Amino acid sequence: MTQPPADADARRAVAPVICYPDDTLPVADLALYARARAGARKTGEVVVPPRDGRAFRVPAGSFFRISCPDGAQVGDLNLFNANDLSERFYSGKTRALHGTHLTVGDRMWSSFPALRPMATITADTLDWYGVDTYGGRVHDVIGTRCDPYTHWLLSGGDRYHHCCHSNLTRALSAEGVVPEQAEGLVHDVLNVFMCTGFTADTGQYFMKASPVRRGDYLEFFAEIDLLGVLSACPGGDCGSEHSSDAAACHPLLVEVFAPDPADLQGWTPPPINGYDRSHGL
């Protein structure tokens, strides 16, 4: 190891600065969302079977709720602009703007060049969890999704077909996207209900049994027309392992609620990002 310089401690003692101060971001009007949600009626639902994926559609201005109707279960969520699948959820930038884990008031931001809110989180029955003694928090945007390639690598060649990556690929294919293209459209997820963090000593990504229980939910407002794809992770509550059939797995429920348009007065779908894409050329 390199010999520490004489001023090593002084360099370490420099205070950090927030990379992206969020005080100039457009603020979510939670009072408006609450009013709209109060008068909304349910218009549809999709059940995601254990170790599988399903797609669902949510028109701009509607709400969708992801819940655990049975037992503790983690979900891996992808979001697309329903009218242009090249605009999709950007986990990394969302993490940079809001932090490692999301809750009420945070947005799910879309990829470049749109970079706009796709959905706003409006309710979270696990918001009480906060941060535990291990540094664990709920609903992360730090994991990517369990996938058969990493599993093949780490297991010495085992093939498993029900990782979230594959579940999302099949669910997208069922929407009419040809399988070869579907896999390429799957992207880093919001890990709904998953409890994760980084270990303090080695900085490794960890998971632990989700605190989610039957009836818990995370609810979103769709800022644009959405195609959502959700996988019920083969890890179940992700308390032991994923990428296998070992864990107890449960379904997830997606419900869509449409407000009275009169209650949405004052809200407009966010425009795509205003940067002109000239890049100094």
Residues that bind Zn ion (CB under 5 A): 146, 164, 233, 242
The nearer residue to Zn ion, 78 or 103, going by C-beta atoms, is 78
Cβ proximity to Zn ion, 242 vs 250, nearer residue: 242
Residue 164 or 226 having the CB closest to Zn ion: 164
- Could you tell me the smallest distance in angstroms from the CB atom of residue 125 to Zn ion? 21
Task: Tell me the closest approach of the beta carbon of residue 194 to Zn ion, in angstroms.
Answer: 8
CB of 108 to Zn ion, least distance (A): 18
Residue 244 vs 273, nearer CB to Zn ion? 244
Dihedral, CA atoms, 30, 32, 36, 39, nearest 10 degrees? 100
Please check whether residue 186 is in contact with residue 144, taking contact to mean a CB–CB distance below 8 angstroms: no
CA distance 214 to 232: 14
Asked if 78 and 55 count as a contact pair (C-beta separation under 8 A), the reply is no
Q: Is there a contact between 131 and 56 (Cβ–Cβ < 8 Å)?
A: no
Q: In this complex, which beta carbon is closest to Zn ion, that of residue 204 or of residue 278?
A: 204
**Residue 145 Cβ vs Zn ion, minimum distance, rounded to whole Å:** 6
Minimum Å gap between C-beta 143 and Zn ion is: 8
Amino acid at 72: A
The DSSP code sequence of 220-231 is EEESS-EEEEEE
If you search the block for the tokens 């090249």, which residue do you land on? 86
